[in-house]
Structure 1
Amino acid sequence: MDADSAPLTRAQRLALTTASFLLLAVATMALGPLLSGSGWWWLCAFIAAGTLFSGFGLRAVRTPPSLVPVLELGVLLLLLTLLFGGGTSIALIIPTQGTFETFGELFVGAQRTIEQQSVPALTVPPLSFALALGIGLLAVVTDILVQTVRMPALAAAPALVPILIPGFIIEAGAELPTLVLTAAAYLLLLRVDVRVRRRARLTAGEDPAGQSTGQAATVIAPKRVPIVSTLGASLGLAAVGLLAASVLAASTPSISTSLLLGSPSQGTLFARGVSPFIDLGRDLRRPEARAAFHYLARDGDRPYFTLLTLDRFEGEVWSATERAVDGDNTVDAMPRPDGLSRRVAASEHPIDVVIDDVSTTWLPVPYPTAAIEGLDGSWFWDDGSLTVRSVDSNTDGQRYRVTRLEVEPTPAQLRAADSVPAQLAPFLELPDDLPQLIADTAASVTSGAASQYDAAVAIQAYLRGPDFDYSTEAPVEEGYDGGGFDVIARFLETKAGYCVHFASTMAVLARQIGIPARISIGYTQGSPTEERVDGVQRVEVDSHDLHSWPELYFEGVGWVPFEPTPGRGLVPDYSRPNAGEEQGPNIPNAATSTPGASGRPDLDPDRGLAGPGGGPLGAAGDLWLRVGALLLVALVLLVTPAAFRASQRLSRMGRIRRGERPADAAWDELVATARDLGTGLGDVETARAFASRMAERPAFAEDAVTRGALLRLRDGVERERYGPVGRTAAPGIAEDIVTARTALLADATAGERARAVFAPRSLFERARRMLGDRLAPGA
């Protein structure tokens, strides 16, 4: 684009910079529904201000315009180093190789947190880094459009980026007040640009249209800029822009209704073979176990390790209630579990855990846990379940110490807990169409139980009894694998299955008789080895130790694990029949043998997953979907001006064919083409002056055919504009405009032609005149 003939003063540059900063700062507020707190906005405002106002300072010291964007990127790098470089930088702002390695780690962490967090997301350091980098790049692009190429109308493109993002994530899209404020900030930028241009031209001795006052005798406007000269057009543009932004934000299809650019199931809940229910069974059927982690328990503890707790039963699947991560729930100090009275014995025991070969965003920890130390990344505990998950990392290579809270309730304490708090009503919910077999089994098994606790012990004893077999193959062969109520009914008939069937059956039977229940998925206690570290025995846990078990709630004790699966894990002492009495048989801890695994069935890897959202979505495919959607938006923004310009040209050619002032239409198209190619102010010249100037260009001066077409177009428009009304234009005008346009395009460079297509100056000049950049009145 041609630079303005009138240079801008520092004050005028500062006005444009301030308006640009305000536009970006307000547009960034659209991300508010996706992010928790307000610190992220102040970070973005700081980065945008530092980048934009550094550009103002560089121009103030007369830095070559082509170098300003490059130096702004340098300033952005210095700011990122200051905020995120840590000890890897020199003098806090000079990056080193270690700084760029840190940036790489933060970028990878940002990708993870985008996939793993629900909204509103915590702005952990990796996500803050991504926000700072993104807003900094948008600031540089905005500055180029507003200050370098002097086309502030295009600043809507970078401002639309944060406006559109919510529409891809949540159904509501950007909030209406933010759209209103962004439209107002955009309108302010355009008005500031109009006034700055006029003031610059008036100061340089030109009329408001850019013509030197010495070129012709004209009457010019006073040397002031009218404030309300085109208020109606400005407000109209603002209203149209606001309406378009609202429709666009509301109609953009969301990728997910609950997660920050992630899948409906918290990304991949468990990688490397760890998934709920169906995939858990596949891992149990592996011919060879895969190492998961090992631990050292100085007090000889052998706890279960929980990954995920499922508390919603909707008939077909068990799933976890979606909860946004609470930034205050850091794992260095965790609360006492819900419902646990101080009267119940509890002691703390440290356990050192080393992850070997399992990758998941959920951390294996005993329930309940009092504290965790030594983790890399940002990890938080969930309310109620006390499960631990990360928003920017995973378990790969983690080494940490977990302080286990060992709870030792007595049967008397459990027997005394018969009330159910109102807030636990969701843990009693069952589908309306529950098979009658389930209700009948619950009633028959628990008949005669003196308390809820006795009923729970009876259900566990029933499932561990001789009538039931542990089998990883029978559910697959019989076609009832999973945890839905139909599967439970079939399991009660066939009486063969593995841990997911026993756990889900006990949880449903417990809910049926009024005991709150949920299911934990994780690992059993593992297998001790001969190796000792500092005198402490090392315990190995592998994929064959994957397990699920029910937890039932008893007021005063809290969530209590049971073990209904025969041949697996350990039966807690408090859950054995006649526990607490002087005599009475213990429930056997052995059961029928598990059939030897002969291989892993070739099953659909997505079948039956029960993640928090109730359905799977491949992480790789989801990423391509997001990238493709953003690229589509960018492409639409890029080709919109070209589409408008092409539509305008087709309309003029249609007028020529229909004979509706054809010479005038052809001349307007010729002048617009010249403006698009940056050949000067043809739209404010007379037809004869413009044709005289064009005729000096090589494309016309050296070719009689093209020169003749140009002159015939000139004569035609003069006759049509100034001749008798109804005068018919000369024939062949359609061929002449094609010839003249072709010559103009051939005379331009490839860059000028590309710029004419994607950033047509004639179109933007027309919009600018609508905002008030009109010719001053004159004689």
Structure 2
Amino acid sequence: MRLSVAAAVATFCAAILLHPLFEGGAWFWGSLGAVLTVLVASAISGRLSLPTWAAGLVSLATLGVYLTASFAGDKAWALFVPTKGSAAELLKLLATGWDDIQRFAAPVPGDNPGIALLTTGGVGIIAIAVDLLAARMRRAALAGLPMLALATVPATILLEPIAWWAFIIAALGFTGLLIADGRERVGHWGRAVLVRRTRAATTPSPGESADTRGLRLSGKRIGFAAIAIAVVVPAFLPPLEPVSFFSFGVGGQGTGGRGNMIQIPNPVTNMKGQLTLPEKRTVLTYTNNDDVPRYLRIYSLDIFDGDQFGLTKPKGAPENRTDAGPLPPPPGLGGGVETVNAVTDIKISEEVENLAFLPLPYPPREVRADGDWRADVSTLMVFSTRDSASGLEYQVATSEPQPTPDQLRALQPPQQPNVEARYLRLPEDFPADLRDLAYEQTKGAETQYDAALKLQEFFTKTGNFTYDLRTQGSSTSALRDFLLSSKVGYCEQFASAMAVLARAIGIPARVAVGYTGGDKVGDRWTVGTDDSHSWPELYFEGVGWLPFEPTPAGSAGQGSARVPEYARPQPTPTATSSSPTPGATARGEELPPGQQPGRNPREIDDREARLGGAGLPAEEPTPLIAKIGIGVAILLLLLLIPAAIRQITRSRRVRALGWKVSAPSDELTARVIAGSHPSVAAAWAELDDILYDYGMAREPSETPRALARRLTQRYEFDAESAAAMTSIAATVERVLFARDPGVVGPLGKDLRKVRRALAATLSRGRRIRAALLPPSTLRRLRSMGEGVLDGFDRLETLRFRRSATR
């Protein structure tokens, strides 16, 4: 039974490591209940002397009953007996919990039923494995492997290291399990093994087990020392980058999420709210290396429900953190397209609130921003579940595709596009007249690129559309009215309508929401609330996602909206264009000298090579020789700690050696008799350390006079050194034993003579070793460590006693 209890305690101590993954304490009590349930099952199995396989089945069945009562009691018989309905309910909760952990970031809500079931069941299964290994198979050391699984989950999901106190609790639990197992084994030996500071073992009487207290205390010393080393040593080692074994996504939707769920406001509503503000407010400013304005995308809307476009919950695995290196490659971009490499420095205004996504030029390749920012692989949106972009300064490197019209016309639609189906999806009840409108407006287009140009021209020229913020909203009827009747709307209507019509003719499309390039103010580009904008992005295999601009040029409130170079009707296609994005080619700006784009050298499957010249300026690495020098310096400082402690102790004693007492008194006599005269005590302690450092340690039974005689004779002191040693010994004896020691003068001069005489008998190497690694200091440090362990040992002897009086 002792091993079963130790296994349960060890499992729950290891489960404490899961605490940073959850909010609230629901997971704690659920896990505790699971561990106690397994303990009860183990006790029953032990009582009935069941074989190991049967004990495992009993534990699993008992855990199933507990989970049924806790999570599906309303579907069970008598609230706890599993039924078909309760089993189906548990399976449903498991599926829900698995989906939830894909979209939540730690800490997740602990009261979420699905997540709570996964956690409780997982801890229960670990408890069963630990109990079987430790209590049934008597393999306590192997029981650490299932407990290690509990530590692996937070270590691989979280970016922060495991809390030291949680590690200590888990380690103490495992150490207790090993000690309990060792006690069970050694208890059958016969005679206890003697260890330091334990009473002599006695031979047990017949029928009694051996007294294993001594060995148990020795095991605790080893365990506590190992835990202390495991906690202290890593503080002096460089941190390791976390490795993710579980690619759990993060993200969500809503405004009142829990558990660090990503907060996503309605992008369309937020954009229109900014456009209708009575006065312009600065949202951000930026500079870049080619001084070209660029659209800054925040959201990528990919789901069209028939009324408006919405956002799929983004997923950002730990390996997609922005500080982990280059971002995932942009979908669909091949190696035969020219690119413009740029580095943009962006500063968000501190007045911006609750912005969990970074405004970025597309496609970002590398982002440097303080905080936990992650990239969604499919859209390259960069978001955070913990940090806000308010007041944030960050850098982004981009390699923007720069296709020519000829290149786009030469692209052939693949039989199986390398793009997700959601970018082509339309509702089943999508109006047929809108689909007919799409085909009518793209009639005669030989390629998807030509069809995209015709759709853009329909909104900007031939369709007679008008820009106005006063619209009737977003719905299927509103969309039909906008396209077929009123033809009045603002950027959201234009972007959504073009994306919908593009999907209707088979071109993958989505809607981007963010800001236009803004206006140049001083040496920085300034983006305000009136620069809020929405535009469609269309997908072309081999090039990727390209923005188009269907909002009519010169629209009020959209003065900084620009048509990209490749989207302009050109009778003669140009081989190279000055910029790929809507904000880069509005007025045909030329890149400054030295910034002309070059061919993208990246390959599709090489993430590092894809960065090409678009990477952020590399931080100057510390030279190897400097790293070696720093490491050597730190090592020397650590090695000099004992020497520093010895020097401090010696300086303190030297100050005491100068004290002189000339008149005895009753109080002074009492102190002197007790051996507490400051000058004499300091001299004697310093002499004792000198002898220990030089390998001439005083014997415990050696009197001061015998010590003086041994040193002067063995090391052949000269007359002056011998007299100094005799004076010290006589003064110490007088202080210790005389009723009235008389006047005690300073002993510093005599001590220095004795020290020089002793040092002269040693080799140079021994003197250096005594100065750098003084054995006397090492002895004190070792004694302090033993004292700490002795304190833990005393805990074993604590007993609660009943009061003798009633």
TM-score range, shorter chain: 0.3 to 0.5
Task: Flag the structure with larger Rg.
Answer: 2
What TM-score, normalized by structure 1, do the two folds share?
Answer: 0.44
Higher RCO structure (Cα 8 Å, ≥6 apart) = 1
TM-score (normalizing by structure 2):
0.43
